[in-house]
Chain A
């Protein structure tokens, strides 16, 4: 299963979910599968997609927030797994596409072949943890995680790309990505009881 195959399984299952994307091929491939206003594409700040998603999830507890992460990103910010485990946001689904390489820079190896990221998530306190290797298992696990309480961690083992796909960059300016995502959050949700909606 390649990244594009996995995305083609997962993305059609989403309805109102907000999806924070890690940088590199994860953002770019997902953008080309389906560009949604509820997608936030993190273009720089590698490692922080999970922290950004946590910041959204904590402040919008009635909205499910998904993060599309990568093994290189997770290894760069393992503290985020610990904080998610400590805070237990029930509305957070952490999907990690694990190809065991830094794909965007030429497939240099990460250490996720030696270190089981799902075991780290389990030890950090995620309520649900699964590892999948096939599209069928991926679909079943995603459907389950989208209705059950988290935090959930779905490790999707994928193959590294053998050849560079000719895939374009994301066509939106960064402030436009953020503004669109903020509007998607505000539109989706009833005002919070404390009246602080939209500051």
Chain B
């Protein structure tokens, strides 16, 4: 397990400097730290957060969009016809509800198809493991910079305190 504060420090150290999203309980400590730090923008919908991040990226920022995987469904078109089409880099930090089929019913199908959905969208992703958070973030930054496209980290329960 890694604390929200430690995770945020790693994000900032990697060069991420614009944070927005829609909350999930799995990242409440991360959002709390970002809010405390100042500058986290609480969006109203995940696709609007993708739009906000697109504007931030074009203004020279390196944005992170935080969402639950339910929100991945909301922003499919925004990713396809904005972020991917215009080649705008963005880190998607997506919490993985419905992980391994253990969750409330509304999360089960989206939990099952989340990795496939990212692959279908041709968004490179990794599953965040508790032991490999710095490595995964380094991979995300490297991939973002090389491809000038979004990348995603899928965050299962029990990785961030």
Q: A residues within 8 Å of B by Cβ? A: 20, 40, 42-45, 47-60, 77, 79-80, 82-83, 87, 174-175, 177-178, 181-182, 185-186, 196-199
Contact = CB atoms under 8 A, between A and B. Distances in A.
Contacts of B54: 48, 51-52, 55
Most chain B CB inside 10 Å of its own CB: which residue of A50, A83, A196: A83
B85 interface: yes
B132 interface: no
A43 B77 CA distance: 12
Given A55-B57, A199-B60, 19 more contacts: A20-B55, A40-B58, A43-B81, A44-B82, A45-B47, A45-B78, A45-B82, A47-B48, A48-B47, A48-B78, A52-B82, A55-B63, A56-B55, A79-B48, A80-B51, A175-B85, A178-B86, A186-B60, A199-B15
27 contacts: A44-B80, A44-B85, A45-B78, A51-B52, A55-B18, A55-B55, A56-B55, A57-B55, A58-B41, A59-B18, A59-B56, A60-B59, A77-B45, A77-B47, A79-B44, A79-B45, A80-B51, A82-B44, A83-B43, A87-B41, A178-B88, A182-B58, A182-B59, A185-B60, A196-B61, A199-B61, A199-B62
B53 interface: yes
Interface string B9-53: 000000101100000000000000000000001011101111111
A83 B51 CA distance: 13
Contacts, number: 118
Nearest to A185: B59
Contacts of B86: 174-175, 177-178
B60 A197 contact: yes
Interface residues of B, number: 33
Interface of B: 15, 17-18, 41, 43-45, 47-63, 77-78, 80-82, 85-88
Contact of A55 (B15, B59, B77, B87): B59
Contacts of B47: 45, 47-48, 77
